[in-house]
Chains A and B, each alone.
Chain A
Amino acid sequence: MISLQGISKIFGAITALDNISFEINKGEIFGLIGPDGSGKSTLLRILATLLRPSAGHAKIGKYDVEVDYKAIRKIIGYMPGQFSLYPDLSVEENLNFFAHIFGTRLEENYFLLRDIFTYLEPFRKRRASHLSGGMKQKLALSCALIHRPTILLLDEPTTGIDPVSRAEFLMLLKNLKKHEITILISTPYMDEASACDRIALFKNGKLLGVDTPGGFREAYKRTLYSIRGIRPARLLPELRTLPSHCWVYASGNEVKVSTPNPNEIYILREMLDRSTIKQNYQIHVIEPDIEDCFIARMKDTYGE
């Protein structure tokens, strides 16, 4: 559905995207995951025909993003990174405005919006500026869907909104799958990977990998231990003396130790037993999450 070939984007001295190639299949939820400044928004803007790539080609269906931008603008729904609706217009007025500029009416594609609309209905007459963050995003999603696009490009739709609204938003996206809309969503939150069929990890404009979330976990070649029961602030300094191929970091209230050699658990246990911390702890082998995979890929790509 979408294919990228060697896409680069250079702004002056900054390389925002560095030779990116991958494909997105029809009807999947595809996540662009990476921290701020990793090039996610730039990539979405190139696909939305708002920026031209400095090198490479991108196609949406049979359309080239540079040559056929007019055709593409008819089939995409785009939701920019910041809230981009008219704050002084009401929910209804915003929807009608966007319906109008896409040459459609609210009623025409109402079946797409029905789910979202159950949330928005009570606020029909309210000005967009008086909506909560979560409601604003739902309204923006409605406006992006109003002309029944085949592709949705969502730039960090869940950033800055509360956890409950985030969960609702991701659920709404899942429900859209049955309408065969291809969804491209960017996010800095690694934990949102689970809402995506496939994800691409980005860092500093480079692609760290494309796979399903499960695929990333399977590709994790190291063994990961989790140590619980001791305060990370206390435990971390102790574990710093482990050999440097062991990665030691806190993750919430546990400390994770990642090692290429599973036998090192004995060194680890020994170390903990000898240490000055006389506390009960639990140590387990755990499955890596996307954050662990990201760290591993980053170290592979950039070194330590």
Chain B
Amino acid sequence: MENKEAQWSIEVENLEKRYGSFIAVDKISFRVKKGEIFGLLGANGAGKTTTLRMLCGLLAPTAGIALIDGTGVSQNPESVRFKIGYMSQHFSLYEDLTIWENFRFYGGIYGMKLSEIKGKFNELSYRLNMSDQAQRLTRELPVGWKQKLAFMVASFHNPSVVFLDEPTSGVDPLVRRQFWDLIYEAVLKDTTIIITTHYLDEAMYCDRLAIMDQGKISAYGTPNEILSHYKASSMHEVFLKIAGKEDILA
């Protein structure tokens, strides 16, 4: 039993969030393995963001269970916070701080000692070949760098789960590739990645997906499983089929 729990990074069972009579998330269940890249897809208002917030402990579910590394999110929100990292496309780094100051700030938030922050930062900047950039203001950096640094910051405190909110929309394909290289490095070290997005090409990078529609999970599995289940050639088609709008394809 103990062992079995250890291999699941996230376990969600009958998770529900109601606002009055409106059901934002309708008794969903899914599990994510350690080191897996899991995609939470859906249109705006499908319930992804609400689900994400419940997993981060920012919203209390009205029913159901959410466990991260076997710890109940609603029971131990504080200890869960240390296990997760969060990166959003819109907000992640302070533009008017230098790279080093950003890391120092985030490290400080997670209670890391200054010497520890310094050590890890030096190692990181050596590995990314940016030792001479540490004192540059973040706003002066190219988009691709910001993107990578944002991910580095989100995973700086060695969280076991990192949530990425639409991480690579609007960046050029090369930057995106480099970004995914970083993510692959992280998952090989058993970090779990949860991506919420409605950009379908991002979905194909995930090991497994849950597609949400009106608060429910309407498709669940590996990208290939989902494609073959819907007899679709692309995720795009899957979406149109779920929405009942196949006619657009014609």
Contact = CB atoms under 8 A, between A and B. Distances in A.
Direct contact between the two chains A and B in their complex (CB within 8 A): yes
Interface of A: 34-38, 132-133, 159-165, 167-168, 171, 188-191, 203, 231-234, 236-237, 249-253, 291, 294-295, 298
Contacts of B59: none
Nearest to B171: A35
B187 interface: yes
Most buried by B among A132, A162, A171, A191: A162
Contacts of B203: 252
B172 A35 contact: yes
A38 B169 CA distance: 14
B139 interface: no
Given A35-B143, A163-B43, A250-B180, A188 B205 contact: no
A167 B184 contact: no
A201 to B, nearest CB: 10
Contacts of A294: 172-173
B181 interface: yes
Interface in B137-195: 143, 169-175, 177, 180-181, 183-184, 187-188
B143 A36 contact: yes
Contacts of B143: 35-37
B239 A253 contact: no
Interface string B209-250: 000000000000011100000000001100110010100110
Contacts of A234: 188
Given A191-B200, A233-B183, A250-B184, 7 more contacts: A132-B44, A167-B245, A231-B207, A253-B224, A291-B173, A294-B173, A295-B173
Nearest to B236: A163
Mostly, the B contact residues are helix
Contacts of B235: 163
A35 B45 contact: no
A291 B201 CA distance: 11
Nearest to A187: B170
B205 A164 contact: no
A118 to B, nearest CB: 13
Nearest to A229: B224
B23 to A, nearest CB: 18
Nearest to A228: B224
Given A132-B44, A164-B243, A34 B172 contact: yes
A168 to B, nearest CB: 6
B174 A295 contact: yes
B112 interface: no
A298 B239 CA distance: 31
Contacts of A162: 42-44, 198, 239
B151 to A, nearest CB: 15
B173 A159 contact: no
- Pick from B45, B224, B245 the residue with the most CB of A within 10 Å: B245
B201 A252 contact: yes
Contacts of B175: 35
Contacts of A159: 169-170
B239 A163 contact: yes
Q: Which of A38, A234, A251 has the most CB of B within 10 A?
A: A251
A159 B169 CA distance: 9
